[in-house]
């Protein structure tokens, strides 16, 4: 534990939903839900306006629609969110060399290591300055927690939401934690919380009063010791600048179970290619190929194969995944498929092409793996996903508000415009095409306007419901 609150935790406010509201003027101040829109989709992020109705992350999308039927339901734009995250992480690294990202929208910063703070006053000033810079650069808001350790800094940022700053003064940690629910502590989920409640323990103070031996008896040695230390505000974990990537993987959940074996094979080939693209994007390779299959009855099977050396070659990964699939019975139907690579390295093994050739020669003949992937990668028509960007030859930039029955509805507006008009087109309209997202904050003199330039703050626009187009 430190003697000064120089550990900072930043958590962007309802990040995905806030980014969508900032880029779409018609959605500002409205309920927005981002996630998978199929029958089995889940909520990734809900705006604070949607949370009023009880919608929250990880909730089934069908339940969210029942709670907030008039909300805007959008498909995530991860490349867009990642570009904003890179801007935010750049600002954090300007504060300190020790930045520990936890996700796209969350990170710890060691202010002391960057000599950005050394006491409460300087830490508070650094936090205020950081929030202002984030708003000026991205047009978005984030909440900041400052404390003497990582656990308390994260709790402080949670208390600061939305768009606030909370600093926990050294020496006040126990008093602050005491009355809080046990669920406030990291690692205490619904099951552990319910187990503690049945033992008469509902607050952090009651954890401390129960004693370490009782917690070990209730929760086991490792969890009991850790929980008791947290209840006493003890957390000596350092801020780690680089968290080693252990694996790279992709997976898809399907709205309707896949029964056709050929379709399953095509999906595995497609996932293998996506996984390799992500692997190469990170400058990595890997030795172990992993296949994940969740069947119709929710049983999940994982199969793996370790190669002679690391690879980032799509043909090798495709063939390994196909071999793993051969040992899995999918006749009842498949609801989820995933392909991953672990045993990562930053180099490749050149003789893996020879290995793949040898294995093909030893096994039964099969159709070339590359052919169906090309067919899968070239759909007959665009998929107009709600929330994604488009451009019309005459009307300019807009976003998809909904689609179906051969029609796509588009609202034409930009981050700097007024709420735009809505038009409907045929899905094959030659004047309509997918587009890249526009920046939330204009670069140049106008950027000095900060959040107002990005349009994320200001008076209520007084709009009616947005229509029938359908993480904190």
Percent of residues, the chain, with pLDDT higher than 70 = 85
Give the sign of the dihedral formed by CA 152, CA 158, CA 163, CA 164.
negative
Angle of CA points 68, 70, 73, to nearest 5° = 80
And the tokens for 291? Answer: 């296949």
Q: 164: which residues sit within 8 A by CB, 6+ positions away?
A: 143, 144
Kindly tell me if the per-residue pLDDT of 446 is higher than 50.
no
Between 286-295, 300-309, 451-460, the lowest mean confidence (pLDDT) is in 451-460
The residues pairing with 371 across neighbouring beta strands, listed in sequence order, are none
State the average pLDDT over residues 94-109.
93
Give me the pLDDT at residue 264, please: 93
Enumerate the active-site residues: 106
Give me the pLDDT at residue 293, please: 94
Give me the pLDDT at residue 95, please: 94
Kindly tell me if the per-residue pLDDT of 453 is higher than 70.
no
More confident residue, 459 or 170: 170
Give me the pLDDT at residue 455, please: 38
Give me the pLDDT at residue 394, please: 93
Question: Model's pTM, two decimal places?
Answer: 0.73
Q: Rounded CA gap, 440 and 84, in Å?
A: 9
Give me the pLDDT at residue 366, please: 35
Give me the pLDDT at residue 424, please: 95
Given pLDDT bands bounded at 50, 70 and 90, which one contains residue 347?
low
More confident residue, 380 or 345: 345
Q: pLDDT of 374-392, one tens digit each?
A: 333 334 346 799 999 999 9
Give me the pLDDT at residue 189, please: 83
Q: pLDDT of 49-78, one tens digit each?
A: 999 999 998 899 999 999 999 999 999 998
Kindly tell me if the per-residue pLDDT of 355 is higher than 70.
no
Kindly tell me if the per-residue pLDDT of 103 is higher than 90.
no
State the average pLDDT over residues 392-405.
93
Given pLDDT bands bounded at 50, 70 and 90, which one contains residue 37?
confident
């Amino acid at each position: 534990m430190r003697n000064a609150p120089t550990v900072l935790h930043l958590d962007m406010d309802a990040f995905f939903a806030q980014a969508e509201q900032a880029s779409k003027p018609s959605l500002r101040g409205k309920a927005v839900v981002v996630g998978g829109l199929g029958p089995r989709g889940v909520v990734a992020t809900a705006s604070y306006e949607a949370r009023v109705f009880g919608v929250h992350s990880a909730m089934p999308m069908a339940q969210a629609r029942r709670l907030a039927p008039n909300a805007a339901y959008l498909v995530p734009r991860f490349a867009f969110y990642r570009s904003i995250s890179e801007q935010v992480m750049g600002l954090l690294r300007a504060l300190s060399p020790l930045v520990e990202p936890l996700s796209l929208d969350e990170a710890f910063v060691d202010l002391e290591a960057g000599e950005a703070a050394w006491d409460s006053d300087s830490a508070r000033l650094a936090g205020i300055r950081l929030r202002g810079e984030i708003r000026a650069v991205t047009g978005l808001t984030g909440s900041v927690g400052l404390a003497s350790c990582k656990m308390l800094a994260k709790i402080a940022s949670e208390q600061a939401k939305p768009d606030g700053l909370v600093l926990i003064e050294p020496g006040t940690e126990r008093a602050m934690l005491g009355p809080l629910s046990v669920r406030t502590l990291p690692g205490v989920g619904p099951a552990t919380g319910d187990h503690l409640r049945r033992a008469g323990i509902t607050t952090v103070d009651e954890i401390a009063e129960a004693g370490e031996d009782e917690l070990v008896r209730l929760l086991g040695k490792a969890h009991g010791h850790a929980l008791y230390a947290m209840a006493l505000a003890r957390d000596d974990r350092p801020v780690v600048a680089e968290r080693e990537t252990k694996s790279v993987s992709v997976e898809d959940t399907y709205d309707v179970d896949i029964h056709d074996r050929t379709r399953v094979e095509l999906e595995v080939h497609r996932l293998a290619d996506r996984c390799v693209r992500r692997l190469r994007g990170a400058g990595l390779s890997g030795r172990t190929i992993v296949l994940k299959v969740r069947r119709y009855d929710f049983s999940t099977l994982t199969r793996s194969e370790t190669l002679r050396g690391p690879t980032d070659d799509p043909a090798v990964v495709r063939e390994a995944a196909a071999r793993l699939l051969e040992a899995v019975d999918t006749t009842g139907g498949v609801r989820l498929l995933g392909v991953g690579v672990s045993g990562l390295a930053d180099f490749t093994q050149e003789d893996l092409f020879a290995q793949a050739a040898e294995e093909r020669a030893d096994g039964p003949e099969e159709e070339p793996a590359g052919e169906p992937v090309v067919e899968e990668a070239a759909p007959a028509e665009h998929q107009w996903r709600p929330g994604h960007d488009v451009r019309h030859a005459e009307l300019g930039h807009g976003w998809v508000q909904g689609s179906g029955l051969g029609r796509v509805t588009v609202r034409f507006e930009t981050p700097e415009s007024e709420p735009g008009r809505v038009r409907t087109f045929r899905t094959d309209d030659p004047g309509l095409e997918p587009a890249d997202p526009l920046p939330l904050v204009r670069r140049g003199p106008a950027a000095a306007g900060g959040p107002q330039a990005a349009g994320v703050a200001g008076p209520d626009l007084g709009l009616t419901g947005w229509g029938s187009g359908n993480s904190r």
